[in-house]
Amino acid sequence: MRLQPNSGLSGRTNECHPNLPLWAWAASKQLRIRARHFCASAVPRDVWVETTNQAVLTAAVEAGCSRALFKEDTLHLAQSWQQLATFQALSLQQDGSILDQQENKVGRLLKLSCKADLQKAEAAAKDDGFLLMDASDWKIIPAENLVAAFQSGAGKLMGVAGCAADARVMLEALETGTAGVLLRTQDPLQVKQLAAYIAQREAEGAPAFTYDVATVTRVSPVGMCDRVCVDLCSLLQPGEGMLVGSFARALFLVHSECMESQYINSRPFRVNAGAVHAYVQAPNGKTAYLSELKSGAEVLVADAAGRAKTAVVGRCKIETRPMMLVEAETADGTRHSTLLQNAETVRLIGPGSSSSSSSSSSSSSSSRSSSSSSSSSASPSAPGGSSEAGTRSAGSQQSWQAVSVSELQPGQKVYLLLQEAARHTGISIQERINEK
């Protein structure tokens, strides 16, 4: 049976089926451990599902799973379920081959029950595509052996698991783990448990950005400019924002509009990010121009501790507004800048008054962000207040604050993310460049 192509289908589900709520896809794509900036060893982990229970498929799609495997006698379910959600249906043939909807071979499933089967699987490491190892009664030994074999091969090893606990064994084999798992279950709870485990693993293993502390040297109006408001499909917490700057070499941490104000209701999904020319940090170490962002794009959201996560753009609003030029100087004497709207709701994040009072411009880089294990919390601001304060680490009591651009003064401290300046289509390259 040949599957009919789905016009909205892609292996990377960055669009939602009209009948699937936006939050179902955008709620963090938990079933994929995503590579993060400054972490070359982070490897994406795919999770596929095999089931005849629609509730399992629904739970998987809502958690971000983009592929489901069907045997030839259950392909009719794929046709029906694709009317409800967007996912990639793969078919398992009698010889173990796995085909996509265009009948291209993307991998194969191999049952392991003896040493000879294990040797066949190890030999397949040099082949492109996915190898799904099905070792129903023989889990830990083949998983470890095959993970070692596939580390230097072209193929991608996936384990077959009947529950979240077995999937965890596969993902943790030899610490590196398999490239992913096929979860074969009729229980939606197993999908949710696996999603929770992967989300926890991602949070614990995610590296943190290291910020420099820069001293504000200039805050001045520059007139009317086109600025970009970025509305995300995620609710941001106090201390979180986007990394934006006029130069890719130095990005300011611009706070979201999650704080209450006497002038306007909070918008915890919004970041008033700056002028259209500015760079914004994107996933995988890339940058994008604010003017390029549109619905469905991905950006990085970072907090005061340097922890980052991917967020989906719901919409962008470009409007003409009065703007302010903000310049800040790092310890090496280099000045960096960004342009932000002159509004009480636009804030920059920096160290709190307790930690910044002991530092000076000449030693601004001596205070850098804490490790990814530190947590972010905030105390409520006074109604109509223009700054928000919080604690980045309960152990070190290093605080942060978000200061409104309308009250920002020379001498105050802000966080900067310093990185390579040269970019080509958003990708960092080694090239001599002088921007000012």
Q: What are the backbone dihedrals phi and psi of residue 189, each rounded to the nearest 5 degrees, phi first? A: -60, -35
Instruction: Confirm if 410 and 217 have CB atoms less than 8 A apart.
Output: yes
Instruction: Confirm if 412 and 215 have CB atoms less than 8 A apart.
Output: yes
Amino acid in the structure at residue 26? A
pLDDT bracket for residue 419 (50, 70, 90): confident
Give residue 355's pLDDT: 47
Distance of CA 57 to the CA centre of its chain: 23
pTM of the predicted model as reported, rounded to 2 decimal places: 0.56
pLDDT bracket for residue 361 (50, 70, 90): very low
Q: Given 3-state DSSP classes, what are the helix, strand and coil percentages for the chain, each rounded to the nearest 5?
A: 20, 35, 40
pLDDT over 90 at 122, yes or no: no
* Per-residue pLDDT tens digits for 162-213: 999 888 877 876 556 777 889 999 999 999 999 888 877 776 656 678 999 9
Give residue 205's pLDDT: 58
Instruction: Confirm if 320 and 224 have CB atoms less than 8 A apart.
Output: yes
130 versus 256: the higher-pLDDT residue is 256
C-alpha angle with apex 334: 332 to 337, nearest 5 degrees? Answer: 140
Give the Cα separation of 98 and 378 in Å (integer): 50
Least confident of 38-47, 158-167, 239-248: 38-47
Give residue 310's pLDDT: 87
Could you count the other beta carbons within 10 Å of the beta carbon of residue 102?
A: 9
What residues contact 160, with CB distance under 8 A and at least 6 apart? 109, 132, 133, 134, 135, 136, 181, 182, 184
The CATH class, in words, for 46-203 is: alpha beta
**Where exactly are the structural domains of the chain?**
46-203, 212-352+400-418
pLDDT bracket for residue 33 (50, 70, 90): very low
11 versus 328: the higher-pLDDT residue is 328
Please identify which residue in the block is written with the tokens 């798992």.
Answer: 181
Fold of the domain spanning 212-352+400-418? Endonuclease - Pi-scei; Chain A, domain 1 (2.170.16)
Give the Cα separation of 234 and 329 in Å (integer): 32
Tokens coding 436: 């000012």
State the alpha helices, DSSP H only, in 245-395. Answer: 353-356
Least confident of 70-79, 145-154, 377-386: 377-386
Nearest to 179 by CA among 107, 78, 282: 107
Please identify which residue in the block is written with the tokens 């804490």.
Answer: 370
* Per-residue pLDDT tens digits for 58-108: 999 988 888 999 999 999 999 899 988 889 999 999 998 999 989 999 988
Give the Cα separation of 376 and 393 in Å (integer): 7
Give residue 170's pLDDT: 78
Mean pLDDT in residue range 213-240: 96
pLDDT over 80 at 117, yes or no: no
Q: Which long-range contacts (CB under 8 A, 24 or more apart) does 79-82 make?
A: 79/3, 79/4, 81/54, 81/57, 82/6, 82/9
Give residue 389's pLDDT: 65
